[in-house]
Amino acid sequence: MDIVSLLKTLSETPGISGYEDQVRQVIGEVFARYADEVRTDALGNVIALKRGTGKAEPRRSIMLAGHTDEIGLIITRIEQGFLHFTEVGGFDPRVLLGQEVVVHGRRDLPGIIGSRPPHVLPPAEREKTIPLDKLFIDVGLPADEVEELVHVGDLATVRRELTQLKGDFIASKAFDDRAAVAAMAVCLEQLAGMQHAWDVYAVGTSQEEVGLRGAITSAFGLAPDLAIAIDVTFGNQPGLSAAETVEMNKGPAIVYGPNIHPALHDTLVETAKALELPYQVEPAPGRTGTDAWAIQVTRSGIPTALIGIPLRYMHTSVEMVSVKDVERVGRLLAAFIARLDAGFMDRLTWKPAISGEK
């Protein structure tokens, strides 16, 4: 699999939370190459099923979840042809100034988030950041034409093409969490050449950035025996301490904490060791803010794990990952799934390991 070109397509296809249709289409086609079935549910989750070979009915299943949505902008008001907007998901308004965008109106329109030239600004002004509600998009068209082409509630995405950096590093928008989608594709491709007893649901979840909403409903619908969420995590970068981050290009971050079933964490670590795959342990003392957080408490509870893909500059349009890390996550997932046998759930116990009647 050419991961870079897959990531280029995934990253450059728009898919703002709640409006993931285009990227969902792309992902569905990629997953369909390796899966037995692909479908979309009521909230826009794209669900691929790759059947296992296990004989027991109903067959056990594992859900992989990586979110398809990206943060974006939404038009709130149109004033003399200029577009006021707000965020869908969490934007740092400071990264928007002087940015090119695409406004998804009746047709796609190139737009600019304008900044007033420094010449006209008093020095004190330049020391201040500009809040979202003071920014606007200029599409360079006359006001009446804008009113026709753009409506309140239309969306806009930052325009960005993938940049190949030195070595294994690439940068673009929406690697959060399309990098995980690519890792799931790698996993499915790997599984095509392996034996696995369990059914595998690879789920591109919707609306993660606005409250883990697709994960809530897809996990409820699938009711899997196990789940692994894949999301990006903070890679070391200027301005962040080692305690807050994981290292770039040093392998998947296998998360540990209340959100994670410890036995799943341990099995992932064992799997990585057996593959001689580099990995890192990332502590998460509480809320992880990922799909794993929602999935774990679905229905009567689903043992859940979380794998982080190290990423720098999260929620900007220059999110940076190592292609190798993405590929490693895919391989780790596949090898983990291949280990799942009929007795796995029985070994997934807490101390004291008890169940029964007196």
Partner 1 sequence: MKELIKKLVETYGPSGNEDKIRQVIQEEIAGLADEVRTDALGNLIARKRGQNGGKRVMLAAHMDEIGVIVTHVDEKGFLRFGAVGGVWPHTLLGGRVVFANGTVGVIGTEKVEDEERNKVIPLEKLFIDVGAVDKTSVPVQIGDVAGFSRPFADMGKRLVAKAFDDRIGCAVLIQTMRDLKKTPHDVYFVFSVQEEVGLRGAMTSAYGIEPEMGLSVDVTLTGDTPEAQTMAVELGKGPAIKVKDGRMLAHPGVKRLLVETAEAIGIPYQLEVLERGTTDATAIQVSREGVPAGCVSIPCRYVHTPSEMVDYDDVTNAVKLLVAMLEKPIIL
Partner 2 sequence: MILQQLSEAFGVSGYEDAVRQIIFDAIRNDVDEYRVDSIGNLITLKRGTGEAPFKVMVTAHMDEIGLMITHIEDNGQLRFAPVGGIDDRILLSKTVCIGDKKIPGIIGVKPIHLQDDKEQEQVIKGDKLTIDIGATSKAEAEQLVKVGDYVAFTTSFADLGPTVKGKAFDDRAGCAVLIEIIKAGPYPFDLYGVFTVQEEVGLRGAQVAAYAIEPDVAFVLEGTICDDMPKKKDVSPTTELGRGPAITIMDRTFIADRRLVKLLVDTATELGIPYQFKQPLMGGTDAGAIHTTRTGVPSVTVAVPSRYIHSPVCLLSKSDFENTARLMQEALRRLTPATIGK
Helix residue ranges, H only, 112-174: 143-149
The reply to whether 75 sits near partner 1 by the rule CB under 8 A is: yes
Q: What is the largest CA-CA distance in the chain?
A: 82
Given candidates 62, 88, 137, 180, which one binds partner 1 under the rule CB under 8 A?
A: 88
Choosing from 112, 149, 210, 269, the residue that interacts with partner 1 (CB under 8 A) is 210
* Nearest-angstrom CA–CA distance, 313 and 6: 21
Q: Which stretch binds partner 1 (CB under 8 A): 25-33, 71-79, 259-267, 348-356?
A: 71-79
Asked if 198 touches partner 2 (CB under 8 A), the answer is no
Residues whose CB falls within 8 Å of the CB of residue 300, separated by 6 or more in sequence, listed in order: none
Residue 327 and residue 187: Cα distance in Å, rounded?
8
Q: What pairing do the DSSP bridges indicate for beta strands 46-50 and 199-205?
A: antiparallel
How many binding residues for partner 2 (CB under 8 A)? Answer: 36
- Partner touching 86 among partner 2, partner 1, none, CB below 5 to 8 Å by kind: partner 1
17 binds, options partner 1, partner 2, none, Cβ within 5 to 8 A by partner type: partner 1
CB of 223 to partner 2, least distance (A): 11
Between CA 259 and CA 302 the distance in angstroms is: 11
Closest CA to 16 of 79, 91, 76, 83: 91
Q: Which is nearer to partner 1, 121 or 220 (CB)?
A: 220
Decide the pairing of beta strands 199-205 and 61-67: parallel
Residue 133 in contact with partner 1, rule: CB under 8 A = yes
Residues 41, 218: contact at Cβ < 8 Å? yes
In angstroms, give the least distance from the CB of 84 to partner 1.
Answer: 5
Q: Contact with partner 1 (CB under 8 A): which of 98, 123, 142, 153?
A: 153
Q: How far is CA 203 from CA 37, 210, 215, 254, 271, in A?
A: 12, 17, 9, 19, 22
Residues 240-299, interacting with partner 2 (CB under 8 A): 241-244, 256-262, 281-283, 285-287, 296-299
For residues 152 and 134, what is the distance between their CA atoms, to the nearest angstrom?
A: 17
| Residue that the structure tokens 């996550």 belong to | 329
In the bound complex, what is the minimum distance in angstroms from residue 87's beta carbon to partner 2?
25
Q: Is 152 in the site for partner 2 (CB under 8 A)?
A: no
Regarding 223 and contact with partner 2 (CB under 8 A), the answer is: no
- CB atoms inside a 10 Å sphere around CB 220: 13
Angle made by CA atoms 162, 167, 173, in degrees to the nearest 5:
20
Residues serving a catalytic function are 208
Cα 63 from chain centroid (whole Å) = 15
**Interatomic CA distance for residues 320 and 172, integer angstroms:** 7
* Residue 47: CB minimum distance to partner 1, A: 11
Q: Is 76 in the site for partner 1 (CB under 8 A)?
A: yes
Residue 168 interacts, among partner 1, partner 2, none and using kind-specific CB cut-offs from 5 to 8 Å, with none
Query: CB under 8 A: which stretch of 12-20, 238-246, 268-276, 305-313 binds partner 1?
Result: 12-20
* Of the residues 14, 15, 18, 303, which one makes contact with partner 1 according to CB under 8 A: 18
Nearer to partner 2, 281 or 342 (CB): 281
- Are 184 and 63 a contacting pair, CB within 8 Å? no
Beta strand pairing call for 253-256 and 304-311: antiparallel
Tally of CB atoms within 10 A around 152: 11
Q: Residue 146 or residue 191: which is nearer to partner 1 going by CB?
A: 146
Least Å distance, CB 102 to partner 1, is 18
- Residue 270: contacted member of partner 2, partner 1, none (CB under 5 to 8 Å, by partner type): none
| Residues in contact with partner 1 by the rule CB under 8 A | 17-19, 41-43, 45, 74-78, 84, 86, 88, 133, 151-153, 207, 210-211, 213-214, 216-218, 220-221
Name the residues that contact partner 2, by CB under 8 A.
Answer: 241-244, 256-262, 281-283, 285-287, 296-303, 348-358
